[in-house]
Each structure stands twice: as C-alpha cells, then as structure tokens.
Amino acid sequence: MEHGLAEKGRPFLQTLWADEYLNTDQDGNTFTKSQDLANASDRGTSVTSFALTDLKVHVYGDTAVVTGSNTLEATFKGKDSSGAYRFTDVFVKRNGR
C-alpha cells in the first residue's frame, strides 16, 4: 500500500480492526489500533508489493483463525522492512459482520 492509499484505506481499517486490536511485529513490539492507523499514515511507511501464501483458515463458530505467509517489499518509518513474515490473524463475527 503506497502512502496516500493508506489514507483511503483508513476508514476500512477502522471498521475491520476491533477496538482491542493488537499487532505484534517481527521484533516483538506491539501496536494498538490507533498506533497502527498512525503507522499506516506515516510518510516513511509504504508497501510496494505483497504476496500472501500458505493460507489456512479454521472456523470455530463466530471466530476464524487465519495463518499464512506474507512476502512484501516495504518500508516502515523510513527503514526497509521487506521480507517474508508468518502471521496469525483472528476474526470474530460481531453484530452480524
């Protein structure tokens, strides 16, 4: 996501991410929803390409756990953060969505 697109995507992310959203990066740093929204808007942060692979989805009632790999070309606050990363995301259906 190139800078500028982050601003257009911000309303979507505000809706997608729960208020208790917490992201842990590859160095063990954690970011709240408001911190990650600010990070996405930082002029030194951009994603020029990404590829999701090895996706696995497990559904448990109103909860889904998604694991996979994300290979990306990106900068975070001006520093190259390109690479391949494993992730686990948890989604919960609330209020019909």
**Structural domains present in the chain:** 5-92 (3.10.450.50)
Amino acid at position 73, single letter: E
pLDDT in tens, 7-51: 667 888 899 999 999 999 888 999 999 999 998 888 888 899 999
DSSP 8-state code for residue 5: H
Q: How far apart are CA 69 and CA 87, in angstroms?
A: 6
pTM of the model: 0.81
